[in-house]
Structure formats: C-alpha cells, structure tokens
Structure 1
Amino acid sequence: MTDPSRSPSAGLRIASIAGVPVYLGWSWFALAAVITVVVGSGAGAVGYVIGLVYAVVLLLAVLAHEGAHALMARRLGLVVHRVVADFLGGHTAFDSRALTPGRAAAVAAAGPLTNLLLALVGWLGAQAVQGTMAGLVLGGIGWVNLLLALFNLLPALPLDGGQILESLVWGVTGRRASGLLVAGWAGRVLAVLIVLWAVGLPLVQGRTPDLIRIVWAGFIASVIWRGAGQAIASSQARAALEGRTIDQVARPVTVIPGSLPVGSLGPTPGIPLVREGGRYLLLGSPGEGVTVPPDTPVSALGTALPEGAVVESAPGDELVPALTTMQSSRSSVVVLTDGGQPWAIAIADDLNTLLGS
C-alpha cells in the first residue's frame, strides 16, 4: 500500500532498499503473535512453529510488495521516505507532489504484480519438489503472495487497486478529486461487503457466524472504511481548490545575498528574501530602539525557514503543491520557485483567506 501522507512511525530499522530505510513496526510483533496462535492452536508445538513460519512468510511478502512500490517510485523520480511493515500490513511513504495519473498507477501496480510473480515462483517450486517439506513451504509462499496480490488489487481505496482506479478516473476526467471520490466510495462499499460476508452470508445459509471471522472482518472493514473516508475528505478539499492558482496568494520576492551589509540594503520591489547557502531567511525588524551597525550582514536579521519549505510552483500552477509543502515542512511560509529560481512566497494566512472567501 502506498501512502504519501504518513509521518514516521516507531519501529525497528531492519534494512534499506536503494537507500530507502525499511522499518519493522512494533505492531508487527502483535500480528505475528496472533498468526502463530491462530494457526498453531490445537496442533501442539509443531503447529506453533508452522504458525510462526507463516508469519515470517507474510512479512517477507509484504516487504517485497512495499519494496516494489519504493523502487518504482524511485525509478519515476519520486522521493521515497521509508518502507514500513506493521500490523496493518505495510506502507510506503513518498513525496506525491510530482504524481501524475500514470505514475500513480505504476507505483500502485508494482506491489501486487511483484506478489503475483512470487506466487508463480512459489507454485512452480512446489511442483518441482512435491511431497517434501520444501514443497510445503514453497506452496505456502505461493498462496500467501497470491492472496496478498488479489486482495490488494480490489478496486477500492486505500488498497492498491483503489489507487489504480483513482488514477484511471483522474486520467479520464483530468480531476484527481473525482478519482479520489470514486475510489473512496468504492472502499466504503467494499467495507460493507466484507462485513456482510462475515455475518450476513452465514446467517443466510442457516449457520452461526464464526467469531474469529467476525473479529478479523470487522477489523479489516474498519481500516478500509477509515482509509476510504480520508480519500473522500481529500476529494472534497481538492474540489474546493479547483480554479484557484498560486498567483492569487503569491507575494513576489527579491532575493538578496546573506553577506550583504545592512547599510547597503535599500528599497526592493519585492519582499526581501535572503539566500544563504542552501537555506532561505525572511528579514525581521531588529526591535524598537535597537541600533544595527551598517556593516552587519543581513543574514543576522533573518529568520530561517524550515528545511523543505520550498516548492517548485510556477505562476498559474494549482495551490495543492504549496499546501502540501506547508503541511510536510510544518511551515506557515513556503518559498515558490520557477525553474529552481525563487520568485515569490506563499503565506498560510493568505491561503486561509482565499479559501474562506
């Protein structure tokens, strides 16, 4: 599952894929315990060992799945922050500002396709060594990967299939908000169907619903419902931004070197923006009654913007990249660049005023 918005979660760093850190979330150990107990219950020590093996096989399948997301995203030029395996399966966090419908679909499809490939390898291997312990293990690897792939390909957010559906609608309509809305409601429908499968189907067949199935189905349905709800809310937020461009809030800047003496700073056509090395600073007032020597560099009066508070956003571009950058950098001011050159800043208060109008 790809998730651009997640913040770093606690966990144990176990590896890296092409420089991307891979974490094992602490909650995964709870999942491993549940799988071990459920599979091994009533089968003695051997059953618990088999259950633990299944948990490890699932972990490897999830890491292969998420690693494929990460590698595809990197190949398409996206910045990948981390890969995490946890109780909910896993997620790959990356910078989504450069996404297009095609890129989003490719990143989403990479995970399930990798699992399908591993399922085929496991099945072929099991056929080659039938009747042995190795054949049993390879068969288990094949089934785990097949089920993981098929489940994730269901066309409903927050699953990978839902992200592919979102991309298709986005590509056809030209509106990502429409893609999020359609795939989000598909997710809610899927959540209801899962509950009906666990509770309604047995009742229709005259059977008592299985308690473990109800618990698992309820848990999975709740996760999907929540993810689908977030997609629908994101769709509504994006729809509110349509027709608005960065020009409506951009405040032009004049870039000045940080070494420029205060005494040499005269009137500028735009807001003075100090560039010093790889960082940007906004000039502030020295305070009432404070005298600043004229040879003081202007950088001494500047307030540094947080790292990452810079976004490539040319005149006429939509507002979403600037908003996303404010959220990710936790800065109320972001520098707007065009071709890598600063031309303006965007301020959160201006955005709030515009969106509230």
Structure 2
Amino acid sequence: MSRGADRAVERSPGLRIGSVAGVPVYLGRTWPIIVLVILVTFGPVVARARPDLGPLAYAVALAYAGLLLVSVLVHEAAHALVGIARGYRVARIVADLWGGHTAYDSTDTSPGDSALVAVAGPVANVLLAVVGSVLEPAVPVGVPHLLMVAFVWTNGFVAAFNLLPGLPLDGGFLVDALVWKLTGSRDKGMVAAGWCGRVVAAGVVLWFVGRPFLSGQRPSIYDVIWALVIGGFLWAGATQAIRGGKARLLLASIPVATVWQPASTIPVHGTVADLSRLVQTGRAGVLVVVVAPDGTALGTVDTQALSAIPFERQGGTPLTAVLRARPPGWVVDAGPQDDITDVVRVMQELGVREVPVRDPRGVIDKAVRVEDLGGS
C-alpha cells in the first residue's frame, strides 16, 4: 500500500481492467513477472504432485496466478473503499510486481483513520481465507481442491505477512498510527515505523537464510533469491519512510516567516498599465498575484508576455493578457510561526515554483519561492 498525492501528469501505470467506486484499477506492467515466477516455482510442484496432468500442471499454476490476482485486488480494494469512506482522495489501484498498491492523498487524516485504512487490506484477506475454508469441503477432489487449498493458504499468508510491524507493510502503518497518536507527530511515527521495517527486513533474510542453517542444512538458491528480493524491497521501503519522516521533521522546525518575501495582489479586471504602476511604486514585492473579485488567487504575471506589450498599449490591454493561471490549492494559509511543511508540499504536488501565503486575516502579502528555500 502506498501513500501520497497522485500527479495528474503521471502516465498510466499499466492496463486498466476496471474500477472500484470510481477508482481506476490497473494491471501493472510488472505483474507478468509475478505470473512467470509462479509458473516456474508452482508449476513443477503441481507436476510432481499430479504427474498425470503433464503439461496441464502449468495451466493449474496459471490458474493459481489468477486467484492470487483476485486476492491482491480485493486487498487493495479494501484499502481504497475504507479510504474513501474516511474522506481520502483515492487515485488508483495497481497490481504489480510487489503485490499491489493503492495510491491516495492522506494529507488531512488522523491516526485512527490511518490505522483503519491500513488494517482493511489484511482483514479482507482473512475474510477470503475464511470463505475459502468454508467452501473447501464442498470442492471436488483434484485440481479444484488443490487450487482452493492454495487460495486459502495464500490469503492467510498475505494477511499475516502484511501485518508485520514495519513499513512499507500495512503493519508498519499501524505502528506509524500508534506512535503518531502517542507523540502527536505523524513524522515521528513514520521514522519509528521505518526503523521497525528495517528490523522486519533483517528478520525476513534471517528466516530464509538462517533457519536452514539452524536445522543443519544449507539454504536453497530459491531461498537465498527470495530473501534478497523480499528483504531488499522491505529495506528500501523502510529507508524511504525514515528519510521522508526526517525530512518532514526538519521542515516542521523552520518557521515560514524566515523564508517568505513581500508580495502583492492586483485585481484581474485591471490593465497592464495598473500593473506597471504597481511595479514602479516598489509595492509589487517578489510576486504579484492576480485575484478575482471574490479574492480567489488566479495566478501570477507572465513576465515574457508583459515585456512584449509596448508602453503605449498597456492602458488598453487587460491584465488577463499576461495572466499565468495556477491550479486550485496553490495558496497556503499560514501565520509567521507556522512551519514550511505545507509550502513545500504544495510546490511538490502542484509543480509550482512560488506559493502565495495568506495570513489569518485573509490577506495575501507574502510569498515563498523555490529560491527562498535554497532551490534552483
């Protein structure tokens, strides 16, 4: 399960195969790798258990890959549905090489909501395992029964594995929510859950590689490969969480007043001559924000378009001719002692290089630029 705001400009993550509550569902480009791994590993197991099947043993393995896909999509759909119910903006569901992920914006949330969304996926798998167990006695002996047993076992394993207490697993988000609730800091929760994730990653490697040695055997090449692949994935996700949490903790320590610069506003119904007079009086600041009659910040001034307008035509040229529109949500509400977290988030999510700051009075007279944050 992944978090974060979706970018509208992102390319499609794969083949769209449907939707859940309006959320697009994709079969990721890397999913065929999972199918290939299942054919290579599960196919021979079926062939040894049922030599009478011959090459059809690999068709059984392919059917198992289909059941696994169902399990993954139900898991992610549960995350998405609970997220929507808790007010999240869910962008997509993707089944990929690492099982699957649900992308959503969880900026305005709480520890309780975060925990509910996290636990929804494993609970869905537990329910699938229970349903499979109930149906198993009625399933005919043979290949159908084999697939049902595999389906039950897989869902039980997916639920248990995802509840391990470390990011990027669902259990890690539960740790995150707990620390967040206790400390009041979501970022501290992410750091703590990331370190737990590193412990889980190390534990996975020890399980695959160390356990055989304890029983006097050598680990198989498959065990070593799985240990490296799964452990590496978990370690990378945990490390990303630690870095992200520490970065946000740093942002939270910087008051916005230490980086903002003077800015000004100008009504959209004005002319380019009005803008020129504002600049000449020195009241423009580092950013001129064009506002609608209701006070909505529409955008900034396109300096290239402005320079192309001759002086004698400025009085008759509407300000809209040099307006560079900005997306909704680009204005940040903040007082002098508020930190720069929201400023940086808006810059990253919307891809803007300057952010107007509206004070508690509702006045826009400050702005923060990328250059003010040390960017280029």
CA contact (8 A) 2:3 2:105 kept: no
Matches within 5 A, 1:30-109: 30-41=33-44, 43=47, 44-109=54-119
Separation in 2 of the partners of 1:74 and 1:247?
Answer: 35
Q: Is residue 280 from structure 1 mapped to residue 265 from structure 2 by the alignment?
A: no
SS at match of 1:41: helix
CA contact (8 A) 1:253 1:272 kept: yes
Look up the match of 2:233: 223
Partner of residue 313 from structure 1, selected from 333, 336, 347: 333
Q: Given the superposition, is the C-alpha separation of residues 150 and 240 from structure 1 closer, same or farther in structure 2, using an over 3 Å criterion?
A: same
Matched residue type, 1:295: G
Separation in 2 of the partners of 1:138 and 1:255?
Answer: 66
Moved over 6 A (4+): 276-279
Look up the match of 2:4: 4
Once the two structures are TM-superposed, the CA of residue 156 in structure 1 deviates from its matched residue by 0.5
Partner of residue 334 from structure 1, selected from 355, 361, 364: 355
Look up the match of 1:154: 164
Separation in 2 of the partners of 1:201 and 1:93?
Answer: 35
SS at match of 1:310: coil
Matches within 5 A, 1:213-252: 213-251=223-261
Which stretch of structure 1 is more off in the superposition, 98-107 or 18-27? 98-107
How high is the TM-score relative to the length of structure 1?
0.88
Matched residue type, 2:24: P
Spell out, residue by residue over 1:251-307, the C-alpha distance to the aligned partner (whole angstroms, 9 max, x if none): 5655544332334556468753124699722124422883243121112122233x3
Structure with the greater alpha carbon radius of gyration = 2
Look up the match of 1:293: 314
Look up the match of 1:346: 368
Once the two structures are TM-superposed, the CA of residue 62 in structure 1 deviates from its matched residue by 0.8
Q: Is there any run of 5+ residues in structure 1 with no aligned partner, and where?
A: none
Matches within 5 A, 1:116-131: 116-129=126-139, 131=141
* Matched residues, number: 351
Q: Given the superposition, is the C-alpha separation of residues 67 and 313 from structure 1 closer, same or farther in structure 2, using an over 3 Å criterion?
A: farther
Look up the match of 2:20: 17
Once the two structures are TM-superposed, the CA of residue 197 in structure 1 deviates from its matched residue by 1.4
Coordinate RMSD, CA, aligned: 2.8
Which stretch of structure 1 is more off in the superposition, 259-268 or 17-26? 259-268
Which stretch of structure 1 is more off in the superposition, 275-284 or 85-94? 275-284
Q: Given the superposition, is the C-alpha separation of residues 37 and 140 from structure 1 closer, same or farther in structure 2, using an over 3 Å criterion?
A: same
Q: Structure 1 vs Structure 2: percent identity of aligned residues?
A: 38
SS at match of 1:151: helix
Q: Is residue 185 from structure 1 mapped to residue 176 from structure 2 by the alignment?
A: no
Matched residue type, 2:35: A
Which stretch of structure 1 is more off in the superposition, 47-56 or 243-252? 243-252
